[in-house]
């Protein structure tokens, strides 16, 4: 039996970097406690470092706490705050500094780049449009660098409404717009929405800030799914990028299984279908140890 494991399975560069840092800090804290130090600061992440129940539970066991809101952050007296790969708005940095807290910034550099663009362009007087999901933490963070003259456009309805008129942009001398995108937004949808917006009378500059990691993972998964008899997609059941990965693989290979952990995998199903080549991929929030466990067990069982 041949196993084809996608190179792009699991954490992207930005998420891996943030998760590794949280584990590193948890480890340091444990060592200081073991050495008998009394004043060891607690470790907090601003929002869960990753949308994966297993990882969040594991980190909780190691004493890493999750801050859910800025109000919670304001109640802290000490501690180390880790900013996750999604990034946060400028006001969160201000709160951290005002409180005199220590912090480690693990904002993905690709997201940080968008913060810088949005801040620069908004200070230059441009109106900012962020194409993305308004409720996604990354978009909320980007919005937090854009000043007051900004909006989020998620779908065709939003784009068409924007074209009908925007009171903040009625002044002809003030009609420059800068468009950026959420890093994980679908490229075709981004292009479509930009085309609608370009029909307005405004002077628009478009910056495609979509990250390639998602696209690469999807392309590789599709490629592998086309070459195997069965495909395993690993990821949290609430993860939208894993669901998308599953849909892509299922189209290419009817025999595709969506599992969260090894426990969900029914080896007999694979055996009954006399599978000779199995492909494995995983969503962006799936830790390496789960991927390895699945891979090793598939290997052992055949």
Q: Which residues are annotated as a binding site?
A: 12, 51, 86, 108, 136, 183, 211, 239-241, 285
235 binds ligand F3S (CB under 6 A): no
Whether the Cβ atoms of residue 193 and residue 162 lie closer than 8 Å to each other: no
Alpha-helix runs per DSSP H in 48-99: 53-61, 70-74, 90-99
As a residue count, the chain comes to 302
Whether the Cβ atoms of residue 246 and residue 11 lie closer than 8 Å to each other: no
Whether the Cβ atoms of residue 109 and residue 131 lie closer than 8 Å to each other: no
Binding site listing for [4Fe-4S] cluster: 12, 108, 211
Among 49, 131, 211, 221, binds ligand F3S (CB under 6 A): 211
213 binds ligand F3S (CB under 6 A): yes
What lies within 8 Å, CB to CB, of 22 at 6+ separation is 43, 45, 49, 59, 64, 82, 106
Minimum Å gap between C-beta 105 and ligand F3S is 13
Minimum Å gap between C-beta 268 and ligand F3S is 35
Tokens 């628009």 -> residue: 204
Tokens 């801050």 -> residue: 67
| CA-closest candidate to residue 274, choices 255, 258, 252, 296 | 255
Whether the Cβ atoms of residue 203 and residue 177 lie closer than 8 Å to each other: yes
Whether the Cβ atoms of residue 131 and residue 181 lie closer than 8 Å to each other: yes
Tokens 């008998």 -> residue: 36
Q: Both tokens of residue 85?
A: 């790969």
Contact set for ligand F3S, span 6-25 (CB under 6 A): 12-15
Name the closest residue to ligand F3S (Cβ).
Answer: 14
Minimum Å gap between C-beta 248 and ligand F3S is 17
Q: By CB under 6 A, which span of 31-39, 92-100, 104-112, 266-274 interacts with ligand F3S?
A: 104-112
Alpha-helix runs per DSSP H in 101-183: 109-123, 137-143, 156-164
Among 21, 22, 26, 111, binds ligand F3S (CB under 6 A): 111
C-beta closer to ligand F3S: residue 106 or 228: 106
Among 44, 46, 103, 110, binds ligand F3S (CB under 6 A): 110
Minimum Å gap between C-beta 270 and ligand F3S is 30
Q: Is 156 an active-site residue?
A: no
Q: By CB under 6 A, which span of 35-43, 56-64, 97-105, 108-116 interacts with ligand F3S?
A: 108-116
Minimum Å gap between C-beta 219 and ligand F3S is 14
Whether the Cβ atoms of residue 79 and residue 89 lie closer than 8 Å to each other: no
C-beta closer to ligand F3S: residue 13 or 187: 13
Per-residue binding string, ligand F3S, 59-98, x by CB under 6 A, is --------------------------x-------------
| CA-closest candidate to residue 241, choices 283, 279, 186 | 283
Minimum Å gap between C-beta 208 and ligand F3S is 13
Q: Is 103 helix (H, G, I), strand (E, B) or coil?
A: strand
Among 181, 182, 183, 256, binds ligand F3S (CB under 6 A): 183
Distances (CA, A) of 23 to 27, 84, 109, 265, 283: 6, 13, 20, 28, 20
Name the residues annotated as catalytic. 138
Q: Which residues bind to ligand F3S, rule: CB under 6 A? A: 12-15, 85, 108, 110-111, 183-184, 211, 213-214
């Amino acid at each position: 039996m041949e196993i084809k494991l996608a190179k792009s399975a699991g954490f992207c560069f930005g998420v891996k970097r943030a998760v590794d840092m949280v584990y590193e800090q948890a480890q340091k804290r444990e060592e200081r406690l073991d050495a008998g130090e009394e004043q060891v600061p607690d470790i907090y992440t601003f929002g869960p470092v990753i949308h994966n129940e297993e990882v969040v539970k594991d980190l909780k066991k190691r004493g890493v706490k999750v801050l859910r809101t800025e109000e919670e952050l304001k109640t802290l007296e000490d501690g180390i705050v880790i900013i996750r790969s999604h990034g946060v708005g400028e006001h969160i940095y201000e709160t951290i500094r005002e409180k005199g807290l220590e912090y480690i910034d693990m904002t993905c550099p690709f997201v940080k780049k968008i913060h810088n663009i949005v801040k620069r362009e908004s200070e230059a007087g441009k109106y900012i449009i962020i194409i993305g999901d308004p409720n996604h933490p990354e978009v909320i963070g980007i919005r937090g660098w854009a000043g007051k003259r900004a909006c989020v456009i998620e779908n065709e309805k939003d784009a068409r409404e924007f074209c009908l008129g925007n009171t903040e942009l009625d002044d002809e001398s003030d009609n420059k717009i800068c468009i950026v995108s959420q890093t994980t937004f679908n490229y075709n949808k981004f292009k479509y929405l930009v085309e609608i917006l370009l029909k307005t009378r405004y002077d628009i500059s478009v910056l495609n800030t979509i990250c390639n990691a998602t696209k690469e993972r999807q392309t590789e998964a599709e490629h592998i799914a086309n070459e195997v008899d069965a495909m395993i997609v690993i990821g949290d059941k609430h993860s939208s990028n894993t669901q998308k990965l599953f849909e892509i693989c299922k189209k290419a290979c009817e025999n595709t299984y969506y599992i969260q952990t090894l426990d969900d995998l029914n080896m007999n199903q694979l055996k009954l279908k006399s599978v000779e080549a199995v492909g494995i991929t995983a969503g962006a929030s799936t830790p390496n140890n789960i991927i390895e466990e699945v891979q090793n067990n598939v290997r052992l069982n055949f």
